[in-house]
Amino acid sequence: MPVFSRFTPLISALPASVPFVGPEAIERNRGLRVKARIGANENGFGPAPSVIEAIGAAAAGTWKYADPENFELKQALAAHLGCQAENIAIGEGIDSLLGMIVRMVIEPGMPVVTSFGAYPTFNFHVAGHGGRLVTVPYVDDRENLDGLLEAVRRENAPLVYFANPDNPMGSWWDADSIVTFAKALPETCLMILDEAYCETGPAGATPDIAALIDRPNIIRTRTFSKAYGMAGSRVGYAISTPGTAEAFDKIRNHFGMNRIGVAAALAALKDQAYLGQVIGQIKASRERIAAIATANGLKPLASATNFVAIDCGRDGAHARSIVDGLMEHGVFIRMPGVAPLNRCIRVSTGPESDMALLEEALPKVLKAL
């Protein structure tokens, strides 16, 4: 197949890869229909009715670009978080923000520390900018703070990634441990504290905004994709010192935000009552998933996210056979990508209709193995 001859050596050397295969691709490739979409950590309960109304009202104005300074959304987030608008940068979901952070810090060959098996899209960005991944294994199915700190110091790494609560295992650390870890990092190492699931975590798991807001080497990333139910709108934000947050303006796509998504985010922030309701639904759904797993002889892991990792008791091949078998019944789930985490499957929370399909299909799949 002919390829353009003047791609950079880095691009020429990288494989074409997709960190996540979507359910749409599975439907196309396998000729199956997804009946229960509970594999992508989406919020199947959906956004607030007030958000849907705001989307409809904003649709007529979609011919206009969104405000390139994101002024109104920054002001609203600052009021919600208890910080200044200057502490906030806006991006097209956390994935976009991760790519910009790697671009700001990493040059080819530089070491980047992360957990082995953690969020693969971050690794994708590191590879795309020529960084060298230094990975630290999980311990007891959660990220190893001491190991990450030791790797940063050993490698003199300029960047470390840590998610709390964690994807893909759903585990978490308490706020005091995270603050201690952040303050122990060398000032020359930038920490990405990925808090995509902070709204669904238990009390005491998320540091107060004030605890880290004055540290220029800490960037906290959050999103409207999970608890707020707006994954398709692609609205994320970063929290840091004004100087660090301002650095995003040097490289971001200034017209990257879509106007309808911004309107939806503003409405979602105003409707905290609905957010509280959904968080309760997510918690109940986690318990439902755990009960289904236990009834089938599998071990659900404690989760602070909108999904549950389920230990299938064997190896990755066995877990993969369960994932594939469930898809034959129209139930889309995923699994972590690397051993030993890949002994697990991962089921997203969702409405009772999806849980009923899982409950019906799982024993049939296990019996057939």
* The pLDDT of residue 365: 98
**Taking a C-beta distance cutoff of 8 angstroms, is the pair 101, 122 a contact?**
no
Distance CA 210, CA 255 (A): 30
> Of residues 274 and 18, which shows the higher confidence score?
274
- Rounded average pLDDT over 307-315: 98
Rounded Cα gap, residues 238 and 93, in angstroms: 10
Residue 170 or 1, more confident = 170
Distances in whole angstroms, Cα of residue 175 to Cα of each of 55, 66, 196, 251, 276: 35, 35, 15, 31, 21
Better pLDDT: 162 or 10 = 162
Mean pLDDT for 216-221 is 98
What single string gives the DSSP state of each residue in 136-192? E--BTTB--HHHHHHHHHHHT-SEEEEESS-TTT-----HHHHHHHHHHS-TTSEEE
| Average pLDDT rounded to a whole number, residues 279-287 | 98
The proportion of the chain whose per-residue pLDDT surpasses 90, expressed as a percent, equals 94
pLDDT by residue (tens digit) across 157-213?
Answer: 999 999 999 999 999 999 999 999 999 999 999 999 999 999 999 999 999 999 999
What's residue 318's pLDDT? 98
Contact call for residues 115 and 242 (beta carbons, < 8 A): no
Confidence of residue 238 (pLDDT cuts 50, 70, 90): very high
Looking at residue 19, its pLDDT comes to 76
Task: Quote the percentage of the chain above a pLDDT of 70.
Answer: 100
CA 247 and chain centroid, separation: 22
Is the pLDDT score of 15 beyond 90? Answer: no
Q: How far apart are CA 30 and CA 52, in angstroms?
A: 33
Task: Give the tens place of pLDDT for each residue, 330-348.
Answer: 999 999 999 999 999 999 9
Q: Any residues with CB less than 8 A from the CB of 206 and at least 6 apart, and which? A: 164, 175, 195, 198
Mean of pLDDT values over 224-248: 98
At 39, the pLDDT band (50, 70, 90 cuts) reads: very high
Q: Which two tokens stand for residue 134?
A: 């230094």
Q: What mean pLDDT is reported for the chain? A: 97
Where does the pLDDT of residue 3 fall: very low under 50, low under 70, confident under 90, or very high at 90 and above? Answer: confident
Task: List the one residue out of 72, 16, 87 whose CA is nearest residue 269.
Answer: 72
**Residue range 202-225: average pLDDT?**
97
What mean pLDDT do residues 66-86 have?
A: 98
Question: Lowest-pLDDT range, 24-28, 70-74, 163-167, 284-288?
Answer: 24-28
Q: What is the pLDDT of residues 104-138, one digit of tens each?
A: 999 999 999 999 999 999 999 999 999 999 999 99
pTM of the model as a whole:
0.96
